[in-house]
Protein backbone atom coordinates (compact mmCIF):
# COMPACT_ATOMS: atom_id res chain seq x y z
CA UNK A 1 0.00 0.00 0.00
CA UNK A 2 0.94 3.66 0.01
CA UNK A 3 4.51 4.31 1.13
CA UNK A 4 3.91 7.88 2.31
CA UNK A 5 0.87 9.59 3.81
CA UNK A 6 -1.30 11.08 1.10
CA UNK A 7 -0.43 8.55 -1.59
CA UNK A 8 -3.82 6.91 -1.20
CA UNK A 9 -5.72 8.45 -4.11
CA UNK A 10 -9.13 9.95 -3.70
CA UNK A 11 -11.64 7.90 -5.63
CA UNK A 12 -9.76 4.81 -4.61
CA UNK A 13 -11.11 4.81 -1.07
CA UNK A 14 -12.20 1.36 -0.08
CA UNK A 15 -15.93 0.99 -0.56
CA UNK A 16 -17.87 -1.60 1.45
CA UNK A 17 -17.66 -4.56 -0.93
CA UNK A 18 -20.88 -6.35 -1.71
CA UNK A 19 -19.41 -9.26 -3.59
CA UNK A 20 -18.16 -12.53 -2.21
CA UNK A 21 -14.48 -13.32 -1.73
CA UNK A 22 -14.59 -16.14 -4.30
CA UNK A 23 -15.88 -13.79 -6.97
CA UNK A 24 -13.04 -11.39 -6.27
CA UNK A 25 -10.54 -14.21 -6.77
CA UNK A 26 -11.78 -15.01 -10.25
CA UNK A 27 -12.35 -11.41 -11.26
CA UNK A 28 -16.02 -12.15 -11.81
CA UNK A 29 -17.01 -9.36 -9.46
CA UNK A 30 -15.96 -6.42 -11.60
CA UNK A 31 -19.52 -5.96 -12.81
CA UNK A 32 -20.41 -4.86 -9.27
CA UNK A 33 -17.70 -2.19 -9.16
CA UNK A 34 -19.10 1.31 -8.76
CA UNK A 35 -15.83 3.23 -8.93
CA UNK A 36 -12.25 2.76 -10.12
CA UNK A 37 -11.47 2.47 -6.42
CA UNK A 38 -13.61 -0.68 -6.24
CA UNK A 39 -11.68 -2.19 -9.17
CA UNK A 40 -8.45 -1.26 -7.43
CA UNK A 41 -9.55 -3.16 -4.35
CA UNK A 42 -10.47 -6.21 -6.45
CA UNK A 43 -7.06 -6.12 -8.13
CA UNK A 44 -5.35 -5.86 -4.74
CA UNK A 45 -7.19 -8.95 -3.51
CA UNK A 46 -6.39 -11.01 -6.60
CA UNK A 47 -2.68 -10.22 -6.80
CA UNK A 48 0.20 -11.24 -4.53
CA UNK A 49 1.55 -8.20 -2.66
CA UNK A 50 4.73 -7.91 -4.76
CA UNK A 51 2.80 -8.08 -8.03
CA UNK A 52 0.30 -5.51 -6.80
CA UNK A 53 3.36 -3.32 -6.16
CA UNK A 54 4.15 -3.43 -9.91
CA UNK A 55 0.79 -1.82 -10.53
CA UNK A 56 0.69 0.56 -7.58
CA UNK A 57 4.31 1.54 -6.99
CA UNK A 58 6.33 4.42 -8.40
CA UNK A 59 9.75 6.00 -7.87
CA UNK A 60 11.61 6.25 -4.56
CA UNK A 61 9.37 7.83 -1.84
CA UNK A 62 6.41 7.97 -4.24
CA UNK A 63 6.23 11.70 -3.55
CA UNK A 64 5.53 12.42 -7.20
CA UNK A 65 2.72 9.89 -7.38
CA UNK A 66 1.09 11.38 -4.26
CA UNK A 67 1.50 14.91 -5.65
CA UNK A 68 -0.01 13.88 -8.99
CA UNK A 69 -3.23 12.73 -7.29
CA UNK A 70 -3.29 15.60 -4.79
CA UNK A 71 -2.85 18.44 -7.31
CA UNK A 72 -5.37 16.96 -9.75
CA UNK A 73 -7.98 17.17 -7.02
CA UNK A 74 -6.89 20.63 -5.83
CA UNK A 75 -8.43 22.26 -8.92
CA UNK A 76 -12.20 22.84 -8.90
CA UNK A 77 -14.82 22.69 -11.63
CA UNK A 78 -17.28 25.58 -11.58
CA UNK A 79 -20.78 24.73 -12.88
CA UNK A 80 -22.96 27.05 -14.95
CA UNK A 81 -26.71 26.98 -14.34
CA UNK A 82 -29.92 26.82 -16.33
CA UNK A 83 -28.57 25.30 -19.50
CA UNK A 84 -30.26 22.45 -21.35
CA UNK A 85 -28.16 19.37 -20.72
CA UNK A 86 -30.73 16.78 -21.78
CA UNK A 87 -28.53 15.65 -24.72
CA UNK A 88 -24.84 15.17 -23.90
CA UNK A 89 -21.85 13.94 -25.91
CA UNK A 90 -18.24 13.12 -25.17
CA UNK A 91 -17.38 11.76 -28.63
CA UNK A 92 -14.05 13.13 -29.78
CA UNK A 93 -12.41 13.43 -33.18
CA UNK A 94 -8.66 12.89 -33.15
CA UNK A 95 -6.25 12.28 -36.04
CA UNK A 96 -9.05 11.67 -38.47
CA UNK A 97 -11.07 9.22 -36.41
CA UNK A 98 -14.03 9.68 -34.09
CA UNK A 99 -13.71 7.96 -30.71
CA UNK A 100 -16.54 7.33 -28.27
CA UNK A 101 -14.90 9.46 -25.59
CA UNK A 102 -12.03 11.84 -24.92
CA UNK A 103 -9.69 9.30 -23.33
CA UNK A 104 -7.75 6.18 -24.27
CA UNK A 105 -5.62 3.53 -22.59
CA UNK A 106 -2.01 4.54 -21.82
CA UNK A 107 0.86 2.21 -22.79
CA UNK A 108 2.12 0.19 -19.83
CA UNK A 109 4.98 -2.31 -19.84
CA UNK A 110 5.96 -5.23 -17.56
CA UNK A 111 2.24 -5.87 -17.05
CA UNK A 112 2.30 -9.48 -18.21
CA UNK A 113 2.79 -10.44 -14.55
CA UNK A 114 -0.59 -8.94 -13.60
CA UNK A 115 -2.65 -11.32 -15.71
CA UNK A 116 -1.83 -13.70 -18.52
CA UNK A 117 -2.41 -12.03 -21.91
CA UNK A 118 -3.47 -8.81 -20.18
CA UNK A 119 -2.62 -6.78 -23.30
CA UNK A 120 -5.13 -8.80 -25.31
CA UNK A 121 -7.74 -8.14 -22.61
CA UNK A 122 -7.05 -4.40 -22.68
CA UNK A 123 -7.19 -4.35 -26.49
CA UNK A 124 -10.48 -6.28 -26.51
CA UNK A 125 -11.94 -3.71 -24.12
CA UNK A 126 -10.61 -0.80 -26.21
CA UNK A 127 -12.19 -2.30 -29.34
CA UNK A 128 -15.56 -2.77 -27.68
CA UNK A 129 -15.47 0.75 -26.23
CA UNK A 130 -14.09 2.40 -29.40
CA UNK A 131 -11.18 4.14 -27.71
CA UNK A 132 -7.48 4.08 -28.70
CA UNK A 133 -4.97 1.94 -26.83
CA UNK A 134 -1.28 2.78 -26.45
CA UNK A 135 0.83 -0.40 -26.46
CA UNK A 136 4.14 -0.35 -24.59
CA UNK A 137 7.47 -0.82 -26.31
CA UNK A 138 8.06 -3.44 -23.60
CA UNK A 139 4.92 -5.43 -24.32
CA UNK A 140 4.65 -9.11 -23.46
CA UNK A 141 2.96 -9.80 -26.80
CA UNK A 142 3.96 -8.28 -30.14
CA UNK A 143 2.21 -5.10 -31.24
CA UNK A 144 1.06 -7.00 -34.32
CA UNK A 145 -0.69 -9.65 -32.19
CA UNK A 146 -2.28 -7.04 -29.92
CA UNK A 147 -3.47 -5.04 -32.94
CA UNK A 148 -5.44 -8.07 -34.12
CA UNK A 149 -7.62 -7.57 -31.04
CA UNK A 150 -8.23 -3.89 -31.83
CA UNK A 151 -7.54 -3.22 -35.52
CA UNK A 152 -6.83 0.45 -36.24
CA UNK A 153 -6.95 1.38 -32.56
CA UNK A 154 -3.39 0.59 -31.43
CA UNK A 155 -0.91 3.43 -30.93
CA UNK A 156 2.61 2.06 -30.86
CA UNK A 157 4.90 3.28 -28.06
CA UNK A 158 8.67 3.12 -28.33
CA UNK A 159 11.92 4.37 -26.94
CA UNK A 160 14.68 4.86 -29.49
CA UNK A 161 16.95 1.79 -29.23
CA UNK A 162 20.73 1.98 -28.95
CA UNK A 163 20.90 0.18 -32.30
CA UNK A 164 19.25 2.53 -34.84
CA UNK A 165 18.43 -0.43 -37.11
CA UNK A 166 16.10 -1.74 -34.38
CA UNK A 167 14.39 1.64 -34.02
CA UNK A 168 13.91 1.75 -37.76
CA UNK A 169 12.47 -1.76 -37.78
CA UNK A 170 10.09 -0.99 -34.90
CA UNK A 171 8.74 1.95 -36.90
CA UNK A 172 8.43 -0.15 -40.07
CA UNK A 173 6.52 -2.78 -38.11
CA UNK A 174 4.16 -0.13 -36.69
CA UNK A 175 3.46 1.07 -40.22
CA UNK A 176 2.93 -2.47 -41.51
CA UNK A 177 0.29 -3.40 -38.92
CA UNK A 178 -1.44 -0.03 -39.21
CA UNK A 179 -0.63 1.73 -35.94
CA UNK A 180 -2.81 4.81 -35.54
CA UNK A 181 0.03 6.87 -34.05
CA UNK A 182 3.59 6.57 -32.83
CA UNK A 183 4.12 7.47 -29.17
CA UNK A 184 7.76 8.31 -28.52
CA UNK A 185 8.40 8.26 -24.76
CA UNK A 186 11.05 10.73 -23.60
CA UNK A 187 10.68 10.81 -19.81
CA UNK A 188 12.40 7.60 -18.73
CA UNK A 189 15.73 7.43 -20.52
CA UNK A 190 17.15 5.64 -17.51
CA UNK A 191 15.26 3.13 -15.39
CA UNK A 192 13.22 4.36 -12.42
CA UNK A 193 14.34 3.40 -8.90
CA UNK A 194 11.30 1.60 -7.55
CA UNK A 195 12.12 1.13 -3.85
CA UNK A 196 8.95 -0.85 -3.22
CA UNK A 197 9.92 -3.54 -5.73
CA UNK A 198 13.60 -3.56 -4.80
CA UNK A 199 12.68 -4.20 -1.13
CA UNK A 200 10.29 -6.98 -2.17
CA UNK A 201 13.08 -8.66 -4.14
CA UNK A 202 11.25 -8.33 -7.47
CA UNK A 203 13.84 -8.11 -10.20
CA UNK A 204 13.92 -6.86 -13.76
CA UNK A 205 13.71 -9.10 -15.75
CA UNK A 206 10.65 -10.09 -13.66
CA UNK A 207 11.58 -12.73 -11.10
CA UNK A 208 9.90 -13.69 -7.83
CA UNK A 209 11.80 -14.15 -4.57
CA UNK A 210 11.05 -17.24 -2.46
CA UNK A 211 9.01 -15.10 -0.01
CA UNK A 212 6.90 -13.76 -2.86
CA UNK A 213 6.27 -17.29 -4.12
CA UNK A 214 5.08 -18.36 -0.66
CA UNK A 215 2.80 -15.33 -0.42
CA UNK A 216 1.45 -16.15 -3.88
CA UNK A 217 -0.05 -19.37 -2.48
CA UNK A 218 -2.75 -17.16 -0.94
CA UNK A 219 -3.73 -15.89 -4.40
CA UNK A 220 -4.70 -19.07 -6.27
CA UNK A 221 -6.33 -17.31 -9.24
CA UNK A 222 -3.10 -15.50 -10.02
CA UNK A 223 -0.85 -18.43 -9.09
CA UNK A 224 -2.58 -20.78 -11.49
CA UNK A 225 -1.80 -18.48 -14.39
CA UNK A 226 1.77 -17.99 -13.19
CA UNK A 227 2.37 -21.73 -13.07
CA UNK A 228 0.97 -22.13 -16.58
CA UNK A 229 3.88 -19.83 -17.56
CA UNK A 230 4.33 -17.16 -20.17
CA UNK A 231 3.66 -14.18 -17.93
CA UNK A 232 7.13 -12.65 -18.06
CA UNK A 233 7.63 -12.80 -21.81
CA UNK A 234 8.70 -9.90 -24.06
CA UNK A 235 7.60 -11.03 -27.51
CA UNK A 236 7.92 -7.55 -29.03
CA UNK A 237 11.70 -7.86 -28.67
CA UNK A 238 12.21 -11.59 -29.25
CA UNK A 239 13.13 -11.14 -32.92
CA UNK A 240 16.04 -8.80 -32.09
CA UNK A 241 17.61 -10.94 -29.35
CA UNK A 242 20.07 -13.79 -30.13
CA UNK A 243 18.30 -16.75 -31.73
CA UNK A 244 18.43 -19.11 -28.72
CA UNK A 245 17.42 -16.46 -26.13
CA UNK A 246 14.89 -17.55 -23.49
CA UNK A 247 12.40 -14.92 -22.15
CA UNK A 248 14.90 -13.76 -19.49
CA UNK A 249 17.65 -13.31 -22.07
CA UNK A 250 15.24 -11.36 -24.29
CA UNK A 251 14.54 -9.05 -21.32
CA UNK A 252 18.25 -8.54 -20.75
CA UNK A 253 18.76 -7.76 -24.43
CA UNK A 254 15.88 -5.24 -24.30
CA UNK A 255 17.42 -3.52 -21.26
CA UNK A 256 20.77 -3.32 -23.05
CA UNK A 257 19.01 -1.40 -25.85
CA UNK A 258 17.36 1.21 -23.61
CA UNK A 259 18.89 4.38 -24.98
CA UNK A 260 20.01 6.74 -22.23
CA UNK A 261 21.38 9.16 -24.83
CA UNK A 262 18.20 9.52 -26.90
CA UNK A 263 17.90 13.22 -27.77
CA UNK A 264 16.05 15.59 -30.08
CA UNK A 265 18.06 14.04 -32.94
CA UNK A 266 15.92 10.91 -32.61
CA UNK A 267 12.78 13.01 -33.06
CA UNK A 268 14.15 14.29 -36.36
CA UNK A 269 14.92 10.71 -37.37
CA UNK A 270 11.47 9.44 -36.33
CA UNK A 271 9.79 12.29 -38.21
CA UNK A 272 11.57 11.16 -41.38
CA UNK A 273 10.69 7.50 -40.83
CA UNK A 274 7.06 7.82 -39.71
CA UNK A 275 4.47 9.60 -41.82
CA UNK A 276 1.50 9.19 -39.44
CA UNK A 277 0.71 11.10 -36.23
CA UNK A 278 3.88 11.40 -34.14
CA UNK A 279 3.37 12.09 -30.44
CA UNK A 280 6.07 12.96 -27.90
CA UNK A 281 5.07 11.43 -24.58
CA UNK A 282 6.36 12.74 -21.27
CA UNK A 283 6.59 16.51 -21.78
CA UNK A 284 6.36 18.80 -18.72
CA UNK A 285 8.21 21.99 -19.72
CA UNK A 286 6.54 24.44 -22.13
CA UNK A 287 9.82 24.98 -24.02
CA UNK A 288 10.10 21.25 -24.73
CA UNK A 289 6.59 21.30 -26.20
CA UNK A 290 7.63 24.14 -28.50
CA UNK A 291 10.78 22.27 -29.55
CA UNK A 292 8.79 19.10 -30.24
CA UNK A 293 6.35 21.06 -32.41
CA UNK A 294 9.18 22.76 -34.29
CA UNK A 295 10.71 19.37 -35.11
CA UNK A 296 7.43 18.13 -36.56
CA UNK A 297 5.62 16.35 -33.70
CA UNK A 298 1.86 16.35 -34.19
CA UNK A 299 1.20 16.17 -30.47
CA UNK A 300 2.64 15.94 -26.99
CA UNK A 301 1.46 14.10 -23.89
CA UNK A 302 1.87 16.03 -20.65
CA UNK A 303 2.87 13.24 -18.31
CA UNK A 304 5.25 12.12 -15.57
CA UNK A 305 5.08 8.45 -16.57
CA UNK A 306 2.68 7.61 -13.75
CA UNK A 307 5.09 8.84 -11.05
CA UNK A 308 8.14 6.99 -12.34
CA UNK A 309 11.42 8.80 -12.91
CA UNK A 310 12.17 12.09 -11.18
CA UNK A 311 10.48 11.81 -7.78
CA UNK A 312 10.98 15.53 -7.14
CA UNK A 313 9.17 16.45 -10.35
CA UNK A 314 5.97 18.49 -10.68
CA UNK A 315 2.38 17.26 -10.95
CA UNK A 316 1.51 17.14 -14.67
CA UNK A 317 -1.84 18.90 -14.17
CA UNK A 318 0.01 22.01 -12.92
CA UNK A 319 2.20 22.02 -16.03
CA UNK A 320 -0.65 21.47 -18.49
CA UNK A 321 -1.88 25.09 -18.91
CA UNK A 322 1.65 26.36 -19.64
CA UNK A 323 2.27 23.64 -22.22
CA UNK A 324 -1.09 24.30 -23.89
CA UNK A 325 -0.45 28.02 -24.29
CA UNK A 326 3.13 27.48 -25.55
CA UNK A 327 2.40 24.61 -27.95
CA UNK A 328 0.08 26.53 -30.24
CA UNK A 329 -3.10 25.53 -32.05
CA UNK A 330 -1.54 23.02 -34.43
CA UNK A 331 -0.06 20.78 -31.73
CA UNK A 332 -2.44 18.36 -30.03
CA UNK A 333 -1.77 18.48 -26.29
CA UNK A 334 -2.86 15.44 -24.32
CA UNK A 335 -2.81 14.66 -20.60
CA UNK A 336 -2.23 11.65 -18.35
CA UNK A 337 -1.51 11.08 -14.68
CA UNK A 338 -3.66 10.26 -11.65
CA UNK A 339 -6.97 9.88 -13.48
CA UNK A 340 -9.39 7.85 -11.36
CA UNK A 341 -12.62 9.74 -11.99
CA UNK A 342 -14.38 11.00 -15.09
CA UNK A 343 -14.22 14.49 -13.57
CA UNK A 344 -10.39 14.28 -13.69
CA UNK A 345 -10.65 13.89 -17.47
CA UNK A 346 -13.14 16.76 -17.70
CA UNK A 347 -10.77 18.98 -15.70
CA UNK A 348 -7.84 18.19 -18.01
CA UNK A 349 -10.07 18.95 -21.02
CA UNK A 350 -11.01 22.29 -19.45
CA UNK A 351 -7.32 23.11 -19.02
CA UNK A 352 -6.73 22.56 -22.73
CA UNK A 353 -5.96 18.85 -23.12
CA UNK A 354 -7.64 17.58 -26.31
CA UNK A 355 -7.42 13.98 -25.12
CA UNK A 356 -6.40 11.99 -22.02
CA UNK A 357 -4.90 8.60 -21.27
CA UNK A 358 -5.44 6.39 -18.25
CA UNK A 359 -2.89 3.85 -17.05
CA UNK A 360 -3.73 2.32 -13.69
CA UNK A 361 -7.51 2.78 -13.97
CA UNK A 362 -7.85 0.20 -16.77
CA UNK A 363 -5.04 -1.94 -15.33
CA UNK A 364 -7.01 -2.31 -12.09
CA UNK A 365 -9.99 -3.50 -14.11
CA UNK A 366 -8.00 -5.85 -16.34
CA UNK A 367 -6.00 -7.28 -13.42
CA UNK A 368 -9.21 -8.01 -11.54
CA UNK A 369 -11.39 -9.23 -14.39
CA UNK A 370 -9.64 -9.34 -17.79
CA UNK A 371 -11.41 -7.65 -20.71
CA UNK A 372 -14.67 -7.46 -18.74
CA UNK A 373 -12.92 -5.65 -15.89
CA UNK A 374 -11.11 -3.24 -18.24
CA UNK A 375 -14.40 -2.49 -19.99
CA UNK A 376 -16.01 -1.89 -16.61
CA UNK A 377 -13.30 0.70 -15.85
CA UNK A 378 -13.92 2.44 -19.19
CA UNK A 379 -17.69 2.42 -18.65
CA UNK A 380 -17.34 3.87 -15.15
CA UNK A 381 -15.16 6.71 -16.46
CA UNK A 382 -17.52 7.40 -19.37
CA UNK A 383 -20.53 7.49 -17.08
CA UNK A 384 -18.75 9.90 -14.75
CA UNK A 385 -17.72 12.15 -17.67
CA UNK A 386 -21.32 12.18 -18.84
CA UNK A 387 -22.62 13.19 -15.41
CA UNK A 388 -19.84 15.76 -14.90
CA UNK A 389 -20.48 17.63 -18.16
CA UNK A 390 -24.19 17.54 -17.27
CA UNK A 391 -23.56 19.01 -13.81
CA UNK A 392 -21.23 21.62 -15.32
CA UNK A 393 -23.84 22.81 -17.83
CA UNK A 394 -21.59 21.92 -20.79
CA UNK A 395 -23.39 19.14 -22.70
CA UNK A 396 -20.72 18.78 -25.42
CA UNK A 397 -17.28 17.85 -24.09
CA UNK A 398 -15.72 19.68 -27.05
CA UNK A 399 -16.89 22.98 -25.54
CA UNK A 400 -15.09 22.50 -22.21
CA UNK A 401 -12.62 25.29 -21.45
CA UNK A 402 -10.92 27.37 -18.77
CA UNK A 403 -14.19 29.17 -17.99
CA UNK A 404 -15.29 26.11 -16.01
CA UNK A 405 -12.21 25.97 -13.79
CA UNK A 406 -11.11 27.53 -10.53
CA UNK A 407 -7.36 27.25 -9.89
CA UNK A 408 -6.15 26.09 -6.46
CA UNK A 409 -5.62 28.98 -3.99
C1 LIG B 1 2.86 -0.39 -14.45
C2 LIG B 1 3.12 0.74 -15.39
C3 LIG B 1 3.94 0.52 -16.50
C4 LIG B 1 4.18 1.57 -17.40
N5 LIG B 1 4.93 1.31 -18.52
C6 LIG B 1 5.09 2.29 -19.46
C7 LIG B 1 5.79 2.01 -20.68
O8 LIG B 1 6.23 0.89 -20.92
N9 LIG B 1 5.92 3.03 -21.56
C10 LIG B 1 5.42 4.28 -21.33
O11 LIG B 1 5.58 5.16 -22.16
N12 LIG B 1 4.75 4.56 -20.19
C13 LIG B 1 4.56 3.59 -19.26
N14 LIG B 1 3.86 3.87 -18.12
C15 LIG B 1 3.28 5.20 -17.93
C16 LIG B 1 1.86 5.26 -18.50
O17 LIG B 1 1.89 5.28 -19.91
C18 LIG B 1 1.11 6.52 -18.02
O19 LIG B 1 1.96 7.64 -18.18
C20 LIG B 1 0.69 6.48 -16.57
O21 LIG B 1 0.23 5.19 -16.22
C22 LIG B 1 -0.42 7.50 -16.34
O23 LIG B 1 -0.73 7.61 -15.00
P24 LIG B 1 -1.92 6.80 -14.28
O25 LIG B 1 -1.43 5.41 -14.10
O26 LIG B 1 -2.06 7.52 -12.99
O27 LIG B 1 -3.14 6.90 -15.16
C28 LIG B 1 3.64 2.86 -17.18
C29 LIG B 1 2.80 3.06 -16.05
C30 LIG B 1 2.55 2.03 -15.17
C31 LIG B 1 1.65 2.28 -13.99
Rounded (10°) angle between helices 63-72 and 316-327: 70
Domain made up of 25-193+256-399: CATH architecture: Alpha-Beta Barrel (3.20)
Mind listing the pLDDT tens digit for each residue in 260-302?
889 999 999 999 999 999 999 999 999 999 999 999 999 999 9
Mutate to test the pocket of ligand 1, among 305, 340, 353, 378 (most ligand atoms within 8 A of CB): 305
Mind listing the pLDDT tens digit for each residue in 229-263?
777 899 999 999 999 999 889 999 999 998 888 99
For residue 114, what are the CA distances in angstroms to 99, 119, 155, 160? 27, 10, 21, 26
Active site residue 285: no
Residue of 180, 164, 174, 221 whose CA lies nearest to 29? 221
Domains of the chain, residue spans: 25-193+256-399
| Mean predicted confidence (pLDDT) in 215-236 | 88
pTM of this prediction?
0.95
pLDDT given at position 162: 93
Residue of 155, 93, 51, 73 whose CA lies nearest to 339? 73
Q: Which of the four pLDDT bands, split at 50, 70 and 90, describes residue 393? A: very high
Q: What is the mean pLDDT of the chain?
A: 92
| Mean predicted confidence (pLDDT) in 387-404 | 98
Ligand 1 is surrounded, with C-beta below 6 A, by: 54-55, 106-111, 136, 138, 157, 185, 281, 303, 305-306, 336-339, 358-361
Choose the catalytic residue: 149, 305, 312, 391. 305
172 within 8 A of 267, measured Cβ to Cβ: no
Q: Which of the four pLDDT bands, split at 50, 70 and 90, describes residue 7? A: very low
Amino acid sequence: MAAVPGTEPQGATRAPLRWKEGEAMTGGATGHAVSIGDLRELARRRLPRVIYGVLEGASEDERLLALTYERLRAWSLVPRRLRDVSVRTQATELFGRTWSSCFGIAPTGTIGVLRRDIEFHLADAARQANIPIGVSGASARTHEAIAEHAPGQVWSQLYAATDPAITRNLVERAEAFGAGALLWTVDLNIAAKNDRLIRAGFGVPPRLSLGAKVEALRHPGWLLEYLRGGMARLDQWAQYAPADADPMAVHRFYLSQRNACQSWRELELLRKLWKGPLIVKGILHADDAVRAAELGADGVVVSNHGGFGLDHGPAPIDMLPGVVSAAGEKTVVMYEGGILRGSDIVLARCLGARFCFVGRATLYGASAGGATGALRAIDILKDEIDRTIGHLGCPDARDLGPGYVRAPA
